[in-house]
Amino acid sequence: MINTGSSMRILLVDDVQLDRMQLAIRLKQLGHIVETAASGIEALQIYPEFEPELVLLDVSMPEMDGFEVSQSIREKFPDWIPIIFLSGHEEPHMIAKAIEAGGDDYLTKPVDKLVLNSKLVAMQRIAFMRRELKRTSAKLSELNIALQRQVNEDGLTKLFNRRFIDNSLQDLVALHGRNGSPLSLILLDVDNFKPFNDNYGHIEGDRCLIELAKMTNELFTRSGDYVGRYGGEEFVVLLSNTSEEKALEHANRIKEGLAKLSYPHEFNNSAGFVTVSQGVLSLIPTGKENIDDLYRMADRALYRAKNEGRNCFVLAEFELYPENVEESSVR
C-alpha cells in the first residue's frame, strides 16, 4: 500500500510575501519540507540543489511570470517534476496556457484547504512512485555494471579478459592511428609454469597467477592502460601514448615488481621465485593494423626472451607484413 503520509520536498514560488508565508506554514504543518522563492529567477537558482518533488508556482510575477518559469524548468531539468500553478485568474484560456507551458494542474487563489490537501495527497502518490522508480533504476544500473564487469572480467584473476583486451587494442590502434601517437603492448608469460603446477599443484598455480595479476595490475593505474589475461599463464599490458623507451621501462618495472614479490618457485631455472619473459612491441599505428599481427610480433619477441634465458624482456621488431613462423616450444 502506498504511504500517502510521507513528506515531499515542495518548492513554493510566489512574489507576494504574505501569500507565500501563509501557504508555506500550511504545507509545513502537513509535514512537508518547503523551500520558498520570491521570484522565478530565484526559483531556478534554488531548484537544482533543492531537487523538489513538487513545484507550486504563482502565475503573475514580475520579470519572469509563472509560464516562463515552468518552460525554463522543463527545458533545463529533464527529470519530470509535477508543477501546479496558483493564480487568481480562472479563465479557461489561462488554464490552457498553464498546461501548454508545462504545468500539470491549476489552482485558483485563494486556494481551498480541502482541494489543496486532496491535490497534495495525489502528488504524494506520484512522489512515492518516483522514489520507488529511482530505487529500482539504481538497482538495475548496479546490476548492469556488475554484469558488464563479469562479461569483461577473467574469472580467476579478475583482470580484463581476452575478449575485452582484443576489443580495446583494436580501438587503441584506431585512436592512435588518427592521432599519430605511439602505442605499446607487452606480452608476458610465466617462466617454467608447468613444473610449478606439476610440483605445487594446480590450486597453488592458480594462487600464483592471482598474485602475479594483482601485482601487475597495481603497476598500471593510468587511464588508457589495460592489463588483461591473454590466456593460461600469459598476460598482456596495453599502454596508450607510450613510446618504445617508456615501454621498456615498464617491462623492467614488471621484472622488478616480481623480484620484490618473490613468489617461491624452486623449480624455476632462472631464479628461485616466479619470473616472466616479456615481449615488448611499440609502434605508431596507421590505424589499419591487424591485432593478430601485433600479438604475433610481441609473441615472437617473448619467445626470444625465453631462448635468451628467461626473466628478461626483448623488444619486438615491427614488421608491416609479419610472416607466420612456427612458434618455439620453449616455455
Catalytic residues: 233
Say yes or no: 121 and 215 in one domain: no
Say yes or no: 115 and 242 in one domain: no
Say yes or no: 134 and 35 in one domain: yes
* pTM > 0.75: yes or no: no
Q: Could you say which DSSP state residue 35 is in?
A: E
Domain boundary among 144, 174, 201: 144
Residue 245 inside a domain? The answer is yes
Full domain range(s) for residue 202? 162-315
Say yes or no: 64 and 106 in one domain: yes
**Rounded Cα gap, residues 299 and 48, in angstroms:** 54
Confidence at residue 89, expressed as pLDDT on a 0 to 100 scale: 84
Say yes or no: 167 and 295 in one domain: yes
Say yes or no: 184 and 87 in one domain: no
Residue 110 inside a domain? The answer is yes
Residue 327 inside a domain? The answer is no
Residue 321 inside a domain? The answer is no
Say yes or no: 168 and 305 in one domain: yes
Q: Taken in order 141, 144, 146, 148, is the CA torsion positive or negative?
A: negative
**Rounded Cα gap, residues 102 and 321, in angstroms:** 63
Angle between helix 193-200 and helix 202-219 axes, rounded to 10 deg: 130
Angle between helix 17-29 and helix 113-152 axes, rounded to 10 deg: 70
| CATH code: domain of residue 13 | 3.40.50.2300
CA-closest candidate to residue 276, choices 263, 289, 292: 263
Number of domains in the chain: 2
Domain boundary among 91, 118, 144: 144
Say yes or no: 202 and 309 in one domain: yes
**Rounded Cα gap, residues 133 and 188, in angstroms:** 47
Confidence at residue 126, expressed as pLDDT on a 0 to 100 scale: 83
Q: What tens digit of pLDDT does each residue of 115-143 get?
A: 888 888 888 888 888 888 888 878 877 77
Confidence at residue 162, expressed as pLDDT on a 0 to 100 scale: 94
Say yes or no: 192 and 272 in one domain: yes
Say yes or no: 306 and 249 in one domain: yes
| CATH code: domain of residue 286 | 3.30.70.270
Residue 278 inside a domain? The answer is yes
Residue 155 inside a domain? The answer is no
**Rounded Cα gap, residues 204 and 315, in angstroms:** 31
Residue 151 inside a domain? The answer is no
Confidence at residue 279, expressed as pLDDT on a 0 to 100 scale: 97
Residue 81 inside a domain? The answer is yes
Say yes or no: 197 and 302 in one domain: yes
Write out the H or E segment, with its range, that includes residue 188: strand 183-190
My answer on whether omega of the bond before 264 falls inside 30° of 0, hence cis, is no
The Cβ of residue 170 has, within 10 Å, a number of other Cβ atoms equal to: 14
Say yes or no: 132 and 230 in one domain: no
Q: What tens digit of pLDDT does each residue of 183-226 get?
A: 999 999 999 999 999 999 999 999 999 999 999 999 999 999 99
Give pLDDT < 70 ranges for the chain: 1-5, 145-146, 149, 270, 320-331
